[in-house]
Amino acid sequence: MASAFPCFSPGPVPNTLGVSCTADQLCVAGSEGRLIEALREAGEGALVLGQGSNVVLPERLDQPVVLAAWRGLRLRVSGDDALLTCAAGENWHGVVRYSLGQGWAGLENLALIPGSAGAAPIQNIGAYGVELSERVAEVRVFDRAENRVRALTAEACGFGYRDSLFKADPARYAVLSLTLRLARRLPMRLDYPDIDLELRRQGVTQPRPRQVAEAVIRVRRRKLPDPRQWGNAGSFFKNPIVDPGQAERLGRTEPGLATYPVAGGVKLAAAQLIDRCGWKGRRRDGVGVWHRQPLVLINFGTGSGPDFLALGEEVRRSVRERFGVDLEMEPSAMCPPG
């Protein structure tokens, strides 16, 4: 089918869930200028994606899709501090590897998270006690409402737990680049048991940032499926935050339930809730729950976007019925459930 826009044509939409999705109108933007041109041409309905690491897609998208595909890294050094600017199309794990290879600390706990640099601030990615927002200096965006490029500070980005201004208003902002604050020496976050145990297994008592990243990579590879083999979007659900009273009641009825005091309440471990509902390793048609980490839903090769949403809703319902806790999906759904 011919596209309605000159710089668009039909094509497959990449995504880490491994579902088959074709866009009637697709533009692979190899530069910031090309992306801005495409968005101006397509109008308000266009969807901007990177590597499709945090979306659930239908078999066919009739709205225009623009892929942020340009690359580029720029490092500005000032003594023991540095600013690293990453183009939206850079692979996130590649950014982490580059920063560590240049001797800069700050991103080691965020190693091996799938997706592009442009997607990282949208989700405010985080792992093992570190959130991206702690390192952000600036996010450059194309503001579609104001039809101009803007530079937003970390404060202006409205970062929260797996949340941001960009996620709250996805039709308005297209991320162009991300600038991160790094340093030669930073206090390292080593208090997660998995990371501490992995470092001790390696005989590392005074770890350097690269050794922490290597420990994170080993732990993630042991627990999480490789999207190239088993399509997945990483954690399919956020860890829920409940009020202290509900957490106390759950603690009485559910011995051993993990709780973590946070601003605004008490965080529960979604993986533990899902596991106690018996979901680990279960399968529904072409999709299932990863046998090593029940937060992750995987594609057995034939799963569709609606299949993922249907399974996700089953999991959510069982957690709600047993614990009275609502789980929130992390990926954005672009299709109705099956």
Q: Which residue is it, tokens 């533990």?
A: 272
How many angstroms separate the Cα of 6 from the Cα of each of 10, 38, 64?
11, 9, 12
Catalytic site includes residue 99 = no
Residue 313 known to be catalytic: no
Distance CA 77, CA 191 (A): 29
Task: Catalytic residue, from 162, 218, 220, 316: name it.
Answer: 162
242 C-beta neighbours (distance < 10 Å), count:
20
Tokens of 53: 């690491």
- Which residue intervals of 50-172 are DSSP H helices? 92-101, 120-123, 165-168
Is residue 235 annotated as part of the catalytic site, yes or no? yes
Of 321, 46, 319, residue with least CA distance to 171: 46
- Catalytic residue (choose from 32, 90, 198, 330): 330
Q: Which of 32, 235, 304, 316 is catalytic?
A: 235
Residue 41 burial (10 A CB sphere; 0-12, 13-18, 19+): middle
Q: Is 82 left (phi over 0), alpha (psi -120 to 50) or beta?
A: beta
Q: What is the DSSP string of 207-261?
A: --HHHHHHHHHHHHHHHS--TTTSB--SBSBPPPEE-HHHHHHHHHHSTT--EEE
Which residues carry out catalysis? 162, 235, 330
